[in-house]
Amino acid sequence: MQYGHFDNASREYVITRPDTPLPWINYLGCEAYFGLISNTAGGYSFYRDARLRRLTRYRYNNAPFDVGGRYIYLRDDAADDAAGDFWSPSWQPARRALEDYTCRHGLGYTVIVSTHRGVEASTRYFVPLGENLEVWQLTVTNHRAEPAQLSVFSAIEFCLWDAQDDATNFQRNFNTGQVEVDAEAGVIYHKTEYRERRDHFAYFACSAPLAGFDTQREAFLGPYRGWDDPATVARGASFDSIAHGWQPMGSHHVKLTLQPGESRQIIFLLGYHENPADAKFDPPGSQTINKRTVKPIIAKYLDPTAADAAFAGLGAYWERTLGILQVATPDEHTDRMVNIWNAYQCMITFNMSRSASFFESGIGRGMGFRDSNQDLLGFVHMAPAWARERILDIAATQLPTGGAYHQYQPLTKRGNDAVGGNFNDDPLWLILGVAAYLKETGDWSILDAPVPYDNQPGTEMPLYEHLQRSIQYTLDRLGPHGLPLIGRADWNDCLNLNCFSTTPGESFQTTTNREGKVAESVFIGGLFVLAAKEMAQIANRKSQIADGRWQDAIRNTEYAVRNTQYADYARLAAEMEATVKAHGWDGAWFRRAYDAFGEPVGSAACDEGQIFIEPQGMCLMAGIGLEDGRAEQALAAVRERLATPHGIVLQQPAYSHYYLNLGEISTYPPGYKENAGIFCHTNPWIMIAETMAGHGDMALDYYLRINPSAREAISDVHRCEPYVYAQMIAGCDAPTHGEAKNSWLSGTAAWNYVAISQWILGIRPDYGGLKIAPVVPESWPGFTATRVFRGVTYHIAVRRAGPGNAVALRVDGQAVPGNAIPLPADDRTDVQVEAILGWTFSKTRLPFP
- Interface pattern 681-710 for ligand GLC (x via CB under 6 A): x-----------------------------
- Which sign does the torsion angle of CA 524, 526, 527, 529 carry? positive
Measured torsion, CA atoms of residues 295, 301, 305, 311, in degrees rounded to the nearest 10: 150
**Among 209-217, 364-372, 380-388, 655-663, which window interacts with ligand GLC (CB under 6 A)?**
364-372
Residue 393 neighbours by CB under 8 Å, 6+ apart: 408, 413
Minimum distance between the CB of residue 670 and ligand GLC, rounded to whole angstroms?
A: 14
Query: 634: which residues sit within 8 A by CB, 6+ positions away?
Result: 588, 589, 590, 616, 619, 620, 625, 689
Distance in angstroms (rounded) separating the CA atoms of residues 276 and 196: 13
CA distance 495 to 484: 14
Shortest Cβ 742–ligand GLC spacing (Å): 8
Minimal distance, residue 616 CB to ligand GLC, in Å: 16
Query: Does residue 354 interact with ligand GLC by CB under 6 A?
Result: yes
Q: Does 494 bind ligand GLC (CB under 6 A)?
A: yes
- Which residue among 49, 371, 534, 595 contacts ligand GLC (CB under 6 A)? 371
Q: What is the 3-state secondary structure (H, E, C) of 558-627?
A: CCCCCCCCHHHHHHHHHHHHHHHHHHCECCCCECCEECCCCCEECCCCCCCCCEEHHHHHHHHHCCCCCC
Q: Are strands 830-837 and 792-800 parallel, antiparallel or unpaired?
A: parallel
What is the DSSP code string of 212-273? EEEEEHHHHH-TT--TTS-HHHHHT----B--BSS-EEEEEEEEEEE-TT-EEEEEEEEEEE
Within 13 Å and on the Cβ side, how many CA atoms surround 560?
Answer: 11
- The reply to whether 426 sits near ligand GLC by the rule CB under 6 A is no
By CB under 6 A, tell whether 664 contacts ligand GLC.
yes
**Strand (E) or helix (H) holding 151:** strand 148-161
Taking alpha carbons only, the member of 594, 597, 472 closest to residue 522 is 594
CA distance 784 to 772: 12
Rounded Cα distance, 285 and 652, in Å: 68
Residue nearest to ligand GLC (CB): 493
* Among 490-498, 552-560, 626-634, 707-715, the segment contacting ligand GLC (CB under 6 A): 490-498
**How far is Cα 273 from Cα 291, in angstroms, rounded to an integer?**
9
Smallest separation, CB 523 to ligand GLC (Å): 10
Largest CA distance in the chain: 89
Q: Tell whether residue 577 is a contact of ligand GLC (CB under 6 A).
A: no
Q: Do you find a cis peptide bond into 781, omega within 30 degrees of 0?
A: no
- 491 near ligand GLC (CB under 6 A): yes
Q: Of 465, 586, 674, 690, which lies in the binding site for ligand GLC, with binding defined by CB under 6 A?
A: 674
Q: Mark whether 493 is an active-site residue.
A: yes
Asked if 708 contacts 729 with a C-beta cutoff of 8 angstroms, the reply is no
Task: Report, in Å, the least distance between residue 520 CB and ligand GLC.
Answer: 18
Q: Smallest gap, in angstroms, from Cβ of residue 746 to ligand GLC?
A: 6
Minimal distance in Å, beta carbon 283 to ligand GLC?
49
Query: At 810, which amino acid appears?
Result: R
- Residue of 804, 411, 807, 806 lying closest to 796 (CA atoms): 807
Among 108, 248, 250, 368, binds ligand GLC (CB under 6 A): 368
For residues 591 and 523, is the Cβ–Cβ distance under 8 A?
Answer: no
Determine, following the binding rule CB under 6 A, whether residue 375 of this chain makes contact with ligand GLC. Answer: no
Nearer to ligand GLC, 664 or 733 (CB): 664
Considering only 509, 537, 579, 675, the residue that binds ligand GLC (CB under 6 A) is 509
Q: Are 650 and 614 in contact (CB under 8 A)?
A: yes
Nearest to 471 by CA among 519, 541, 527: 527
Q: Does 51 bind ligand GLC (CB under 6 A)?
A: no
CB of 231 to ligand GLC, least distance (A): 42
3-state secondary structure of 55: strand
Identify which range of 142-150, 382-390, 488-496, 616-624 contacts ligand GLC by CB under 6 A: 488-496
CB of 354 to ligand GLC, least distance (A): 5
CB of 357 to ligand GLC, least distance (A): 12
DSSP conformation class of 325: E
- The count of residues interacting with ligand GLC (CB under 6 A) is 16
Q: Give the nearer residue to ligand GLC in terms of CB position, either 203 or 508.
A: 508
Positions 729 through 758 that interact with ligand GLC (CB under 6 A): 746-747
Part of the chain binding ligand GLC (CB under 6 A), chosen from 365-373, 542-550, 591-599, 824-832: 365-373
- The footprint of ligand GLC on residues 464-483 (CB under 6 A) is none
Residues 6 or more apart whose Cβ sits within 8 Å of residue 679: 613, 650, 673, 727, 728
Contact 769, 823 (CB under 8 A): yes
Residue nearer to ligand GLC on the CB measure, 180 or 371: 371
Q: Does 672 bind ligand GLC (CB under 6 A)?
A: no
H-assigned helices in 520-608: 522-541, 548-556, 566-583
378 binds ligand GLC (CB under 6 A): no
Candidates 29-37, 44-52, 673-681, 694-702; binding stretch for ligand GLC (CB under 6 A): 673-681
Q: Among the options 214, 493, 595, 733, which is catalytic? A: 493
Q: Contact, 318 vs 107, CB < 8 A?
A: yes
- Check residue 672 and report its DSSP letter: B
> Which of residues 492, 496, 564, 616 is near ligand GLC by CB under 6 A?
492
Residue 241 or 374: which CB sits closer to ligand GLC? 374
Residue pair 138/156 in contact by the 8 Å Cβ criterion: no
Report whether 134 contacts 45 (CB < 8 A): yes
The only residue of 76, 214, 493, 586 in contact with ligand GLC, by rule CB under 6 A: 493
Q: Please report whether residue 345 would count as binding ligand GLC according to CB under 6 A.
A: no
Site for ligand GLC, residues 318 to 337, rule: CB under 6 A = none
List the beta bridge partners of residue 71.
155
Instruction: Return the CA Rg of the chain.
Output: 28
We find the least distance from the C-beta atom of residue 718 to ligand GLC, in angstroms, to be: 19
Q: Which is nearer to ligand GLC, 442 or 747 (CB)?
A: 747
Nearer of residues 271 and 433 to ligand GLC, judged by Cβ: 433
Rank residues 365 and 646 by Cβ distance to ligand GLC and give the closer one: 365
Stretch that binds ligand GLC, among 486-494, 529-537, 548-556, 803-811 (CB under 6 A): 486-494
Query: Hey, which residues are catalytic here?
Result: 493
Which residues of this chain interact with ligand GLC, rule CB under 6 A?
A: 354, 368, 370-371, 491-494, 509, 664, 673-674, 681, 727, 746-747
